[in-house]
């Protein structure tokens, strides 16, 4: 097995694709609403109008006790149909988000082709690739739940309604220790 990974994630949610596009495009919010995965991020370059050229530095994790430091650059935008990005850092490759409206539903596809560069992933891929793949699947499952909650929050008409929406899933060990400790 090589250090290459190809993941295709499909989500289907009740939402319009414009709202989904805007929610994912506003990367500054990821560490708030997809906090199980996005531990920290910083926009390095804002890019052009529409987002092409935007560069974001990320610190992420899944359920396994390792983290990834990487960046992405937005390479294509096609509002409201989707956008593409180039990843570099602990892994390199390309990701393409596509959004298709089907009545009240938005069908979301994320096509992610990467190669591991972080030594742990790069050199152990041949041995434990299924575990690394499961880690990605877990992260994307948390993303689906988190996106649905965020869209509900954005559509809430009152503060009471907003407060009734559960918090998104938190990061797993060891990053949840600080969140759960008594201050």
Question: What is the per-residue pLDDT for 180?
Answer: 44
Give the count of domains, the chain.
1
Give the confidence band of 181 by pLDDT, cuts at 50, 70, 90: very low
- Report the distance separating Cα 83 and Cα 27, nearest Å: 13
CA 23-26-32 angle, 5° bins? 80
User: In 3-state terms, what secondary structure has residue 62?
Assistant: coil
pLDDT in tens, 137-152: 999 999 999 999 999 9
Question: What is the per-residue pLDDT for 103?
Answer: 98
- Give domain status of residue 118, yes or no: yes
- The residues, any chain, with a CB within 8 Å of residue 63's CB and separated by 6 or more, are 135, 138, 139, 172
Question: What is the per-residue pLDDT for 183?
Answer: 30
Question: What is the per-residue pLDDT for 174?
Answer: 65
The residue to which tokens 């539903």 are assigned:
105
Determine if the pTM surpasses 0.85. yes
Domain holding 30, by residue range, is 4-171
Question: What is the per-residue pLDDT for 87?
Answer: 98
pLDDT in tens, 5-27: 999 999 999 999 999 999 999 99
Whether 72 and 87 have beta carbons less than 8 Å apart is answered as yes
Is residue 114 over pLDDT 60? yes
- Give domain status of residue 182, yes or no: no
What percent of the chain stands above pLDDT 70? 94
Neighbours of 127 (CB within 10 A): 10
Residues in the chain: 183
Q: CA nearest 153: which of 142, 166, 136?
A: 166
C-alpha distances in Å from residue 59, one per residue of 39, 134, 147: 6, 19, 19
- Give domain status of residue 52, yes or no: yes
| CATH number of the domain where residue 101 is located | 3.30.530.20
């Amino acid at each position: 097995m090589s250090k290459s990974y190809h993941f295709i994630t499909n989500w289907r949610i009740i939402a319009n694709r414009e709202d989904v596009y805007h929610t994912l495009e506003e990367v500054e919010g990821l560490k708030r609403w997809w906090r199980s995965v996005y531990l920290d991020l910083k926009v390095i370059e804002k890019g052009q109008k529409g987002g092409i050229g935007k560069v974001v530095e990320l610190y992420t994790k899944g359920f396994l006790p390792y983290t990834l430091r990487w960046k992405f650059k937005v390479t294509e935008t096609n509002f409201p149909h989707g956008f593409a990005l180039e990843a570099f850092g602990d892994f390199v490759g390309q990701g393409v988000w596509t959004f298709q409206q089907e009545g009240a539903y938005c069908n979301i596809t994320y096509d992610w082709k990467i190669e591991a560069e972080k030594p742990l992933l790069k050199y152990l891929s041949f041995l434990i690739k299924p575990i690394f793949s499961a880690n990605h699947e877990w992260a994307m499952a948390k993303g689906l739940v988190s996106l649905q909650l965020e869209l509900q929050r954005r559509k809430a008409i009152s503060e009471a309604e907003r407060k009734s929406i559960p918090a998104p899933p938190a990061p797993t060990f060891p990053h949840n220790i600080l969140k759960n400790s008594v201050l």
